[in-house]
Structures are given as C-alpha cells and as structure tokens.
Amino acid sequence: MQIRGIRGAITVEEDKAEEILAATAELLTAILQANPRLEPEDIASILFTLSPDICSAYPARAARQMGWTDVPLMCAQEVPVPGGLPRCIRVLIHWNTDQAQAQVRHIYLRDAAALRPDLAAVNMQPGIVKR
C-alpha cells in the first residue's frame, strides 16, 4: 500500500467561522464523492492551510464535525505571497491506498479552481464533482 496525496481548495466570501466550517465540509464532501474508496480509517493525516486573511475558525473542526475523530489534523497559515488567492482554504490529505496517483481526484471549488485549472478540467468528467 502506498500513501497518496489528495489536494483541494475552496474559497469563502467572508472570514466568518460558520462560512469557513461550511466551506470546508463542502470541500471534504466533494473529495469523498470524487474518491469513493476514501475512508477516514485510511487517512494517515490531513493538513489544512488558510490564506492570511482567514482566522475565525480552524477548518479541522469541520472534519471533526463530519465524524473524522481519529484522523490526525493540523491547521496552518499559508505563506503570504503577494497576489495570492484571498480567502482560500487548502487541504492536503495523506491517504493510505493501493490506487495509483493518477486515479486520485483533486478538487478545487469556487474561485480556487483558478489555482489548478488543469485539475478543474479533469473534474469536469462525468461522475466527478465540480462546483
């Protein structure tokens, strides 16, 4: 079994706790739908980052609210690069799986689709969640 990375990102309109938690849950749900073999017990860890203009909630809390209580979670602030995407929540899921990296589906929602337009195009395939 290998460990594979699943990447994803989503943006929020405002730095409000309820919006951060709802957006994070939306992103994680989309990742689950796009990777149907992903189970919380197969997740080695998850790293969330937030752009510097978001600080009202930990996105990891949304994962806990989804029942991912045994998954190691970490939150950090994204590097404040000039011109970086504002109000963005990013995730890197470390997944223990026998799937090839090419089979892993990464999800970029809302304005975050601009971060990886190549992957956003892949997500337009039938059966893959894209919002």
Given its phi and psi angles, is residue 85 left (phi above 0), alpha (psi -120 to 50 degrees) or beta?
beta
Active-site residue 55, yes or no? no
Q: Which of 89, 79, 71, 85 is nearest to 8 (CA)?
A: 89
Active-site residue 75, yes or no? yes
Active-site residue 61, yes or no? no
Active-site residue 108, yes or no? yes
Active-site residue 88, yes or no? no
Active-site residue 19, yes or no? no
Q: Are 20 and 12 in contact (CB under 8 A)?
A: yes
Catalytic residue among 14, 37, 55, 64: 64
Catalytic residue among 78, 87, 88, 110: 78
Active site positions, annotated: 7, 64, 75, 78, 90, 108, 116
